[in-house]
Amino acid sequence: MIDSAGVILVVDDEATIRRIAQAYLEQAGFRVVCVENGLDALHQVEVDPPDIILLDLNLPGIDGMEVAARIRERSDVFILMLTARTEESDRVAGLRIGADDYLGKPFSPRELVARVEAILRRRRGTPPRDNILRFNQITIDPDAREATAGGQPLELSPTEFDLLLALARHAGRVLSREQLIDLVWGSDFYGTDRVVDVYVGQVRRKLEAATGTTPIATVRGVGYRFVGERP
């Protein structure tokens, strides 16, 4: 059982979904808070910051996309989208707006618990490192979970930071999508390797905006390589 200190915020306008998610997550040892709309979710993040947010995209009023974008402006909390949308473009849009992962509806309650446990294991089990990675124009501090580019802080989501760190720690080496999934999402990741491409694209755009270039190169048919040079 995961440490009961884990706080999960469930945001869904369907009472049945909230009730089932709460019952299974509480049985697994989590503290669960449920709200049914985006405004209440934004308020809850302010007054009682959760460890993970389970966020439905199809919310009344402010939809899940807008909620995720507003949360990401002020918090790096892990956002797991709950979506009944089947189009890949919708899921990709959610990831780009600031969500970290997605779970399709209808979902197995046991899979939901397993996914939440895997997320917290990954976030809490990262071994501490005291070495700061420095490259031309880019500095990454694993302990503080901060990165700068061109002397300015990079605004990265938790998953974006983990991806950049994984690539930088293996600078010069080609990492396949499968290897990046293991390093960033964990071996018990449930999604597809398409998520890697989405996040690489997001990190690249932020690096290019800050420095005019990107140290992440595509190795066609294989994966990605960090090519930043040491100062």
pLDDT for 1 equals: 40
- The helix/strand/coil state of 47 is helix
Determine if the peptide bond prior to 106 is cis (ω within 30°). Answer: yes
Averaged pLDDT, 25-44: 94
Is 70 exceeded by the pLDDT of residue 224?
Answer: yes
54: left (phi over 0), alpha (psi -120 to 50) or beta: beta
Q: Across 57-61, 106-110, 170-174, which has the greatest mean pLDDT? A: 170-174
Is 70 exceeded by the pLDDT of residue 125?
Answer: no
- Alpha-carbon span 220 to 108, nearest angstrom: 36
Q: In the chain, where are the structural domains located?
A: 7-124, 133-226
What confidence tens digit (pLDDT) does each residue in 64-118 have? 889 998 998 888 888 998 887 666 666 677 777 778 888 888 888 998 998 888 8
- The helix/strand/coil state of 148 is strand
Pick the CATH number of 133-226 from 1.10.150.240, 3.40.462.10, 2.120.10.30, 1.10.10.10: 1.10.10.10
pLDDT for 157 equals: 87
- The third-level CATH classification (topology) of the domain covering 7-124 is Rossmann fold (3.40.50)
Averaged pLDDT, 16-21: 95
Q: What percent of the chain has pLDDT over 70?
A: 90
Is 70 exceeded by the pLDDT of residue 127?
Answer: no
Is 50 exceeded by the pLDDT of residue 130?
Answer: no
Q: Check if 7-124 and 133-226 are the same fold.
A: no
- The helix/strand/coil state of 129 is coil
pLDDT for 103 equals: 84
